[in-house]
Structure 1
Amino acid sequence: MHVISDAPSASHHDGYVTGPHQAWFAFVMTFALMLFDFIDRQVIVSLFPHIRSEWGLSDKQLGSLVSIVSIVVAAGGIPVALIADRKGRVKSIIVMAIAWSLATISCMFTGNYGQLFAARAVVGLGETGYGSVGAALISTLFPRRLRSAALGAFFAAPSLGSVLGVFLGGIIAAHWGWKAAFGVVGVPGLVLALVYLRVRDYDSVPLTSGTSRAPQRLGETLSHIFGTLARTPTLLFVCAGAAAQLVTVSAIWSWLPSYLNRYHAMDAEAASRAAAAVVLIGALSCTFWGIAVGRVAQRKPRNKLPALSVLCVTTSAIFITAFGGHYTGDVQFRWIVVGAFFMNCTVGVVAGVAMDVIHPGMRSTGAAVLSLFQNMFGLAVGPFLAGILSDRWGLQHALTLTPLFSLLAAVFFAIAMRSYDQDVARIAAVERDVAPAVAEDRVPEPQTE
């Protein structure tokens, strides 16, 4: 594990802080861990029919097994990001990967709902802060011109991981039982954590520049960080919009296998394969929309936000038509596939917008604020709310109502556009002070916490 200094240097390596080879290695490794983060998180949704049959759980209880992970991730994201910004991102990522992988493996030894719920909570504890810390590492190692594309590709990993989680869970459960799925998907994360030791980190950027006194105590640091974030309205409205869109996404991700099982008369394995195909389309579209929106906003970056508004309205209209109309069978499934192409439109773009308006010295923390909103008010709400609505009115009505949150997302993105230019200008001088540079590799001295 190496640390790269941010001291000025004559060699800028085309805008890369560590050089292109090291930056792309860091990207590949961080992407791979994010992939297994979501394989471990989402494998359970393909197991719902098996768990429901064996333990007699309600849809609300099943939804809670997904939502608890997101709740714990949201609650712990900011503290973990604060530690990562000050102690090092690479070390934090390694610890998190080991923790969530071991917790996933432990799920195969549970004997009832309470034990599985507790084990899933520990999975969330291990995954806490990973997305925000990984995004901060990538956004800093890559030049600004590649930031949106790199983050768009990075945030395709959750969708791809969800695809593999749903797909593998259905196959493994059909052949070796549903508990075996947790053991199979938990091991690779441990291996990747060891390889991650070779990823290079960068020195933390001071929160103040020039002769200004940097905050020394924890209280001062927290006050400085959250005061700055609170004065960044673009970040707050983008966080709200991202969360609202993810209510729709997470409801579809979590309940589509069960919907196909109940309403299309598919067995659990076939339903998992079909749902995995839908999520795969969403994964591919994440990168597509990251690039497409970036090009639309090339001359005026704030145009990313109205573009997101239009895409969110489109998402809502398609899914309400798919689940609320009179379509059945193959025709309905085609509508769902079209909706999947639009539903992940925000993921990579909102991360890029957030990085545009966040001080370089607290990008992990700023990204953790985004992650908090996305997990607590998006990923945690969708599965649980859809489960409650399903218990009351049926799963089809539940999946008709949850896409209304995409309309709310469109409103938030439109409001964020009004403050974007001002927030970007405020940190422009700070960005110029962080000169891309490569220094001698050095292994950091052991630190005590």
Structure 2
Amino acid sequence: MLTTHAEPTAGEFAAGETNVRTYAWVVFALTVGLLLSDYMSRQVLNAVFPLLKATWSLSDTRLGSLSSVVALMVGVLTFPLSVLADRWGRVKSITLMAAMWSLATLGCAISANYGQMLLARAFVGIGEAAYGSVGIAVVLSIFPVHLRSTITGAFMAGGAFGSVLGMALGGAVAAHHGWRAAFGAMAAMGIVLVVLYRIVVTEKRLAPLQPQSVGGPAQGRGMCTSLRTLMKGLFSTRSVVCAYVGSGVHLLVPAAIWSWMPSFLNRYYGMETGKAAVTAAAFVLMTGVGMVVCGNLADRFSKQARERKWTIAIAYCLICFTLLAIGLRMPAGTAQLVVIGAGMFFCAGAAGPSGAMVANLTPPSIHASAFATLTLANNLLGLAPAAILTGIVADRIGLLGALQLVPFAPLVAAAVFFIGKRNYTADLDRVNVLLEEAAR
């Protein structure tokens, strides 16, 4: 059977270490919990879009900017902050970042005008900048390599589930107590989780779970890699670049739909704010479930053929395009919402395979930086421009017309993944040889 991973199986748990395996799942749960808080703080804004529009008389462009500024800060800062996290220590970095975005969300609650809200949202983005890359690096370092697509998909799905909670709970709180209370509730949840994570997770307790290349004393001190070596590891192959780009482009779809679905339901279905937010959260939930299921299927179907993850990622993109292109052109009604929901199930399905490809094609010692690069691509190519571009187009041709253009992004992603697939086998063999030489 062909090997499917560049990283050696040193990360596998030793037989009988049940206590270690249990702690790994505890770390996974807490790390995903913080990711939930991350996206609750980010997406609660979308639930209160109609209220903010009415309160401050904002255009769709300005509303979109409040969402996009978070992803922009994440995109700009994720790489440098993730490199610092590799050097300073991942657990300490996670704690600091989570505390920052929670306090910034509290700042949103007390904003007096659009300018103050935009500044507070920027600090939410600064706090969140490196969390996704550092968090997934910690999680992947303590689980077996054959579960990478599953773990990556499940971890990234935390963003979808956090968005569900942020939109549903935020919309419910805002409907009864106002939009300021909605931001305050998200901030309080984040602060509680920060304290819990700080108490339970430590570098010392993580070390026995990690392979020697990423664990032990080295990780406790932080990694010391030259910039030249780092860049070589991050961009050593054409296929890893395709994984970065394809992942970023295909995530434009969930970012745009998540941001504007409450407004879409409010404007075209006449739903009031609370109901629109809860209904929109169901579409986000479909995305999260799809990420987990699609990631697991990618692992199952690629056991015997290492390049099959690329084929599966391409299939997810094409299915998403077809369903959303049809659904967004159907007349308003239950049938339209069902087809859109089906498309949302697949819209981020390539996230798990993309993360697994990046992990397979980069050295374990720089995985936080590699996932920072993936996060950079995700944000600059998909998450950051999605909301504001949709808002700009919506101001000109209407929100529905703007959303009808969104499904074309997965077509571009599918083409990029196809290029990556053609080079993957040779690139993976090359990376395996380099790792074996470095281990000698």
* Fold in common (TM above 0.5): yes
| Residue 416 to residue 77, structure 1, CA distance change in 2 (3 Å) | same
Residue in 1 that maps onto 2:220: none
Q: Structure 1 residue 307: deviation in Å? A: 1.3
Residue in 2 that maps onto 1:349: 353
Residue in 2 that maps onto 1:272: 277
The partner residue of 1:331 within 335, 338, 342 is 335
Q: Structure 1 residue 396: deviation in Å? A: 0.5
| Residue 362 to residue 18, structure 1, CA distance change in 2 (3 Å) | farther
2-structure distance, mates of 1:16, 1:328: 55
1:386-425 map, 5 Å: 386-425=390-429
Q: Structure 1 residue 338: deviation in Å? A: 1.1
The partner residue of 2:374 within 349, 361, 370 is 370
Q: Structure 1 residue 419: deviation in Å? A: 2.0
1-structure distance, mates of 2:161, 2:248: 19
Query: Which piece of structure 1 moves more, 18-27 or 112-121?
Result: 18-27
SS in structure 2 opposite 1:110?
coil
1:18-417 map, 5 Å: 19-197=20-198, 198-201=200-203, 221-325=226-330, 327-417=331-421
Q: Structure 1 residue 411: deviation in Å? A: 0.5
Could you give the per-residue CA deviations for residues 405-447 of structure 1, whole angstroms, max 9, x where no partner exists? 1100100111111222233223335767999xxxxxxxxxxxx
1-structure distance, mates of 2:113, 2:294: 41
| Residue 239 to residue 14, structure 1, CA distance change in 2 (3 Å) | farther
1-structure distance, mates of 2:18, 2:403: 45
Query: What letter corresponds to residue 199 of structure 1 in structure 2?
Result: V
Q: Structure 1 residue 100: deviation in Å? A: 0.5
Query: What letter corresponds to residue 388 of structure 1 in structure 2?
Result: I
Query: What letter corresponds to residue 332 of structure 1 in structure 2?
Result: Q
Query: What letter corresponds to residue 366 of structure 2 in structure 1?
Result: M
8 Å CA contact 1:17–1:141 kept in 2: the answer is no
Q: Structure 1 residue 195: deviation in Å? A: 1.8
- What is the Cα-based RMSD across aligned positions, in Å? 2.5
Structure 2: segments with no counterpart, 5+ residues: 1-8, 215-222
2-structure distance, mates of 1:376, 1:127: 14
| Residue 283 to residue 228, structure 1, CA distance change in 2 (3 Å) | same
Q: Structure 1 residue 350: deviation in Å? A: 1.1
SS in structure 2 opposite 1:142?
coil
8 Å CA contact 2:13–2:21 kept in 1: the answer is no
Query: Which piece of structure 1 moves more, 341-350 or 53-62?
Result: 341-350
1-structure distance, mates of 2:274, 2:333: 18
Q: Structure 1 residue 147: deviation in Å? A: 2.1
Q: Structure 1 residue 200: deviation in Å? A: 3.9
Could you give the per-residue CA deviations for residues 12-70 of structure 1, whole angstroms, max 9, x where no partner exists? 51498993122111111101000110000000001000000111111111011111001
8 Å CA contact 2:73–2:129 kept in 1: the answer is yes
Q: Structure 1 residue 244: deviation in Å? A: 1.0
Query: What letter corresponds to residue 304 of structure 2 in structure 1?
Result: R
Q: Structure 1 residue 403: deviation in Å? A: 1.1
2-structure distance, mates of 1:95, 1:432: 36
8 Å CA contact 2:245–2:416 kept in 1: the answer is yes
Query: What letter corresponds to residue 96 of structure 2 in structure 1?
Result: V
TM-score by length of 1: 0.88
Query: Which piece of structure 1 moves more, 138-147 or 358-367?
Result: 138-147
SS in structure 2 opposite 1:324?
coil
8 Å CA contact 1:156–1:348 kept in 2: the answer is no
> Paired residues, what number?
418
1-structure distance, mates of 2:122, 2:392: 20
Query: Which piece of structure 1 moves more, 14-23 or 235-244?
Result: 14-23
Larger relative helix fraction: 2
Could you give the per-residue CA deviations for residues 337-367 of structure 1, whole angstroms, max 9, x where no partner exists? 1111111211222111111111111000010
Query: What letter corresponds to residue 89 of structure 1 in structure 2?
Result: R
Could you give the per-residue CA deviations for residues 218-265 of structure 1, whole angstroms, max 9, x where no partner exists? 8x7112111332222222111111111111111100001100100011
SS in structure 1 opposite 2:126?
helix
SS in structure 1 opposite 2:328?
helix
| Residue 12 to residue 410, structure 1, CA distance change in 2 (3 Å) | closer
